[in-house]
Each structure stands twice: as structure tokens, then as C-alpha cells.
Chains A and B, each alone.
Chain A
Amino acid sequence: MLTISRELVDKIIEHARADHPDEACGVIAGPIGSDSPERLIPMENAERSPTFYRFDSLEQLRVWREMDDRDEEPVVIYHSHTSTEAYPSRTDISYAAEPNAHYVLVSTREELGEKAEFRSYRIIDGVVREEEVVVTS
């Protein structure tokens, strides 16, 4: 189960809309072991693509070091799908390598109109398990 504040959900959706039709991506850091997403860091999509995303490697090093210094870990890793549903693709699954992270997918595909689809998954050893999202105020 992912417990996340309404403010952070809105920020992710806002980021996904701003970068549409390219995929948007980012991370939410939280204290190690807390399972609590607190500090949102929108990341550059180095691919700038409607079908792929990749964190810029140097930006990632900087952000990961900062988390290390603050005793944080990536609690949420999010990205958007801009023309398909918010479900992990084969590529998403093959790259998923943070065992403690919730993988959040947002879909901004056109047929959803004003609504965005927001779903969360655990992806461990290639196995995808969707989980409940509890939004707090």
C-alpha cells in the first residue's frame, strides 16, 4: 500500500501534464525505512520522448547523493505514460531496481480528458504487484 498526500499526488499529475506528450519522471524521497514519501524531486527526462524515459545520469548521482546525506531513500519513483494506460511496460519492469520503492505510473492519455490515472506498483525481481493508493489530506 502506498500512503501519499494529496499535495504530492497533485504535483506528480501537474508535472505529467506539463511535460505531455513527452513522458515525465521523478522521485519522492523519504526517511530511510519510513515508507513515507515527503520530498518531491522532478527529474529531467534525458530521452525527451513520448515513449521512453531515463533519468539524466549526472542529475541522478547528485540527487541520490543528496538523499544519502539526508538519510533518505527513493520511496516513490514515478513516470507518466502519455498514450497508454498506467501499467508497467516490459521496459519499465526490466529496469525496476529499487526494491524499497513504490513505482507510480500516471497516464495522461487523451481519452481520460481532465482526469489522470494514478496507480502504484511494487516491482521486485520482474514481478509486478499493483497496490492500493491511500491519499491523505
Chain B
Amino acid sequence: MAIEVRIPTILRSYTDGAKAVDAKGATLEELIGDLDARHPGLKARLVDQGALRRFVNVYLNDEDVRFLGGLETPVADGDTVTVLPAVAGGSR
């Protein structure tokens, strides 16, 4: 079994259009490393200088990983990881 990763529209160019792909790892960081091996370029869109980019939200099941352990968050078979673009901005 693997971990399902749900990919937002904007990043589907890296997954040949797939909405969800499988990956493996014991932590979110390992999972993203494995994802990048299968879909080169994805990691750089999610991680910058060892931290999650502020432009993306990453969820483990129903939780925002920023409220868990960030990239150190443990993941396990059967979990679902969801990536969404953060929706934000402002007048400045």
C-alpha cells in the first residue's frame, strides 16, 4: 500500500494530468522526495530552503501539516496527503 497524494490543477503538468498519485515515505519530507523522483520538479514547487512554501497548503488527511510537524510530520500507508494552492493576497 502507498500514500495517496492529491495534486491541484496548477501542478498537474508534473503528473501527466493525474489528479492523484501514489508515493512512499515515513515522513512528509521523504514522501515529497519520493514524489519528486517519480515526477521531477514537484519538490521545488512545494519546498524551498527546507520548509514548505507559503504558496501551498499541504494537508495530512484532515489536518494542515503546518499545525502538525511540517515536513517532519510522520505519514503512513493509507493516509491521504492533499496539496492545494494557498489563496491569499492583499492590497500591498
Contact = CB atoms under 8 A, between A and B. Distances in A.
A30 interface: no
Interface residues of A, number: 35
Interface stretch (A8-16, A92-100, A128-136): A92-100
A39 interface: no
Interface string B37-77: 00000000000000000010101001110100000000000
A35 interface: no
B91 A84 contact: yes
A58 B62 CA distance: 8
20 contacts: A23-B90, A27-B87, A51-B90, A53-B88, A54-B88, A57-B66, A57-B86, A60-B87, A81-B91, A82-B91, A83-B91, A91-B88, A91-B90, A94-B55, A95-B55, A95-B85, A97-B10, A97-B86, A98-B87, A99-B10
Given A81-B91, A98-B85, 6 more contacts: A51-B91, A52-B90, A55-B88, A57-B84, A83-B91, A98-B87
